[in-house]
Amino acid sequence: MSISTENIRNVVLLGHSGSGKTTLAETMLFEAKAIGRRGNVDAKNTVSDFTNIEQDKGNSIFSTLLHAKWKNSKINIIDTPGSDDFIGEVISSMKVADTALIVINAANGVEVGTEIIWEYVKDYNTPALFVVNQMDHEKANFQATLEQITNRFGHKVLPVQFPVQGGAGFNSIVDALRMVMYVFPEDGGKPDKQPIPESEMGRAQEMHNALVEAAAENDESLMEKFFDAGTLNEEELAKGLTIALATQQIYPVFCCSSERNMGSGRIMGFLNDIAPAPNARPEATLEDGSKIACTKEGENVMFIYKTLSEPQIGMVSYFKVYSGKVSPGMELYNPDNRSSERLNQIFEANGKIRSNVDELVAGDIGVTVKLKNTHTNNTLSNKGNELKIDKIKFPEARIRSAISPPAKGEMEKIMKVLHGLQEEDPTLIVEQNPQLKQTILHGQGQLHLDLIKYRMDKVNGLRLDFIKPKIPYRETITTSADESYRHKKQSGGSGQFAEVHLRIEPYYEGMPDPSGLTVRSRDEEELPWGGKFVFYWCIVGGSIDSKYINAIKKGIMQKMEEGPLTGSCCQNIRVSVYDGKMHSVDSNDMAFMIASAQAFKTAFEKAKPKLLEPIYDVEILCNGSIMGDVMGDLQTRRSIIQGMDADGHYQKIKAKVPLAEMYKYSSTLRSLSQGRAKFSRKFAEYQSVTGDIQAKVINENKNEMELA
């Protein structure tokens, strides 16, 4: 018997690495009696973090779907990684969650990972509550952490609880919502409810009043009762807080020690009583901009938010039912690839433990296996409707590395596996770059790429090495030049003859037509690699027949794809063909392609060529104490600092950095900050390199060509 939509709670656990999300998830399952004993991260026996690589590394790498029954509700819990190298797992989980539970380390306070996650919480308009975890840590400071949360996330932050004391003596929590004190036994578990001590009553009453006011503000009838009675009863308070949380008018704050099982049961109770059900959230958006209601009676629509390949099982697909219901044997349609899929089995999941179910209704989250042609970000729905849930928007890659196979014969196998991994993980981009003649992996950080290498080796038995990727330089010119070239070849029978006279100029938007030439036609092309190529046909008197225009253009374009300086692509160049000669018998397309390519090459070398390099806008979020080190490192990378701004209690540094200087920056920043700084990058523009760097790159390219 499936549970009803209004009794489902979908919760995603978010937080910086080391905040204790996995331990909290384990304790929540234990409190709900979903498991009989609590596992331990160090013992490698938690329900979450069940893969071999997570147990080897001792950190969450994949999101893990869990669930527990609490009173009349089913609470789906998604545990996520803390490292932003695996931000794709976090974002995909947030897509299907209805409440975010942000876990904060009581000793470290609001860390940079929390700051980054908050941006996604706002993007998804997700109701959120904070849990100050590890209150038993010797350096735990609830009040300081609460102040950081309030300073960073605003006046909507409202504490529901506070500890009587933190550190080794932590065992009591004052709950200002229920106006009771929970006192826990030494080994945690079910607390004893006691009256709030007189010494803590003033603070508790002040917090309680703030919660009552917040609840009343979101409903007119509750506001009237509040004005009449000066307070609200428990049922009215729950109603008002449910509205306030669902509309992001409040962000409640709890405290606990998940390690000692103190406080997690109260959090589960709050999620059950106050957190919004899927049908209480705004309707989901479809790709065409329309909306779809979360109701069991609607069209059958399920969205694949995550896929993972498992040994002996194959492809495992995690999904949310956005409308209608799904059951085994059902056939649904994938409009993304125009194919049908049969759901042979559907499961509820607690990590690797999966239980068959007969039905999952709108709002629920589940698992299926062995879908033939359906991947992350695909929607399955009734055939004929072609409904598609708006896709997850993953962030741009932040690092790149070329790969080198141990043997040429293994490259085909490696590419097959890499494309499979890319289907699982949309934040991994596999690029076979014909200009650079390298296969390049783009990822979120060094840990991300190291994971790919680990999986290739341990799961697929394929070894690969990372090598420094080449830079996609561009070539252009800084002045105009005229040149001609005659191609003549005679070797028995018909020969080849073509002569081309052309002018090349640097191109810019709005420049006038070439002076001194009669323009017959103009063609402007957006180049696949960026920039423009403008071609003028200025032949007067028929010295070259117009039937050779395409051959001449093709010859020039071939040379632009492998520029004369370094073999890099050329851009923003205007070419005017104004004279030449042809032969009635020996002229042909090939002859004019060769002549135009050689004329372009010679003219290019005379037109003061310039090498351009890709420049990226880089943002670094770091603690003020290491800002000097980060800035110093940036200066060694030929960076131009654009500015510095305070972002909460962190500093945000903005800089323009050449891509050539970004290699292994992820590892350097991690080392400088002990993992407490984050960065993002986005392509900005191409800029000229200095003369010494241009000479160096040209020389390196020349040496490489000689060795090839």
DSSP string computed for 72-101:
TEEEEEEE--SSGGGHHHHHHHHHH-SEEE
Could you name the CATH architecture of 612-693? 2-Layer Sandwich (3.30)
- The whole-number pLDDT of residue 533 equals 97
- The whole-number pLDDT of residue 204 equals 95
- The whole-number pLDDT of residue 229 equals 67
* Cα–Cα nearest to 23, from 40, 10, 37, 43: 40
CA atoms within 13 A on the CB side of 514: 28
With cut-offs at 50, 70 and 90, classify the pLDDT of residue 236.
confident
282-317 burial: b if 16+ Cβ within 10 Å, else e: eebebeeeeebebbbebbbbbbbbbbbbeeeeebbb
- The whole-number pLDDT of residue 220 equals 74
User: Can you tell me whether residue 454 is helix, strand or coil?
Assistant: helix
Find residue 159's DSSP bridge partners: 253
Residue 690 CB contacts under 8 Å (≥ 6 apart), including other chains: none
Instruction: Please compute the mean of the pLDDT values over residues 283-297 and round it to a whole number.
Output: 94
Q: Residue 547 — φ and ψ, nearest 5°? A: -70, -15
Q: Which CATH class is domain 5-280?
A: alpha beta
Q: What is the pLDDT of residues 578-618, one digit of tens each?
A: 999 999 888 999 999 999 999 999 999 999 999 999 999 99
Residues of the chain with CATH 2.40.30.10: 284-381
Distance separating alpha carbons of residues 699 and 684, to the nearest angstrom: 27
With cut-offs at 50, 70 and 90, classify the pLDDT of residue 459.
confident
Residue 83 has pLDDT above 80, yes or no: yes
Residues 329 and 335: beta-carbon distance below 8 Å: no
Higher pLDDT, 591 or 224: 591
With cut-offs at 50, 70 and 90, classify the pLDDT of residue 398.
very high
Among 136-150, 246-260, 316-330, 673-687, the range scoring the smallest mean pLDDT is 673-687
Higher pLDDT, 214 or 618: 618
Taking residue 688's Cβ as centre, other Cβ atoms within 10 Å add up to: 14
Instruction: Please compute the mean of the pLDDT values over residues 307-331 and round it to a whole number.
Output: 92
Residues of the chain with CATH 3.30.70.870: 399-470
Q: What is 399-470's CATH number? A: 3.30.70.870
Distance separating alpha carbons of residues 687 and 348, to the nearest angstrom: 53
Residues 294 and 360: beta-carbon distance below 8 Å: no
With cut-offs at 50, 70 and 90, classify the pLDDT of residue 312.
confident
Residues of the chain with CATH 3.30.230.10: 479-607
Q: What is the pLDDT of residues 400-446, one digit of tens each?
A: 999 987 777 788 889 999 998 998 899 999 999 988 889 999 999 99
Q: Which fold has domain 479-607?
A: Ribosomal Protein S5; domain 2 (3.30.230)
Mean pLDDT of the chain: 92
| End-to-end Cα, the chain, rounded Å | 67
- The whole-number pLDDT of residue 708 equals 58
pTM above threshold 0.75: yes
CA-to-CA dists, residue 622 to 41, 116, 648, 665, angstroms: 28, 11, 11, 14
Q: What's the gap between Cα 250 and its chain centre?
A: 27
Q: What's the gap between Cα 296 and its chain centre?
A: 31
Q: What is the pLDDT of residues 466-501, one digit of tens each?
A: 999 999 999 999 999 999 999 998 766 678 999 999
Distance separating alpha carbons of residues 97 and 90, to the nearest angstrom: 11
- The whole-number pLDDT of residue 43 equals 86
Instruction: Please compute the mean of the pLDDT values over residues 165-177 and round it to a whole number.
Output: 94
Q: Which CATH class is domain 284-381?
A: mainly beta
User: Can you tell me whether residue 265 is helix, strand or coil?
Assistant: helix
- The share of the chain scoring above pLDDT 90, in percent, equals 76
Residues of the chain with CATH 3.30.70.240: 612-693
DSSP string computed for 101-130:
EEEEETTT-S-HHHHHHHHHHHHTT--EEE
Among 233-237, 428-432, 619-623, 700-704, the range scoring the smallest mean pLDDT is 233-237
- The whole-number pLDDT of residue 307 equals 94
Q: What is the pLDDT of residues 325-374, one digit of tens each?
A: 999 999 999 999 899 999 999 999 999 999 999 999 999 999 999 999 99
Residues 197 and 226: beta-carbon distance below 8 Å: no
In the numeric block, the tokens 């200002």 are attached to 176
Residues 656 and 616: beta-carbon distance below 8 Å: yes
- The whole-number pLDDT of residue 71 equals 92
Largest CA distance in the chain: 111
With cut-offs at 50, 70 and 90, classify the pLDDT of residue 180.
very high
- The whole-number pLDDT of residue 306 equals 96
Distance separating alpha carbons of residues 571 and 577, to the nearest angstrom: 18
Residues of the chain with CATH 3.40.50.300: 5-280
- The whole-number pLDDT of residue 472 equals 95
Residue 24 has pLDDT above 80, yes or no: yes
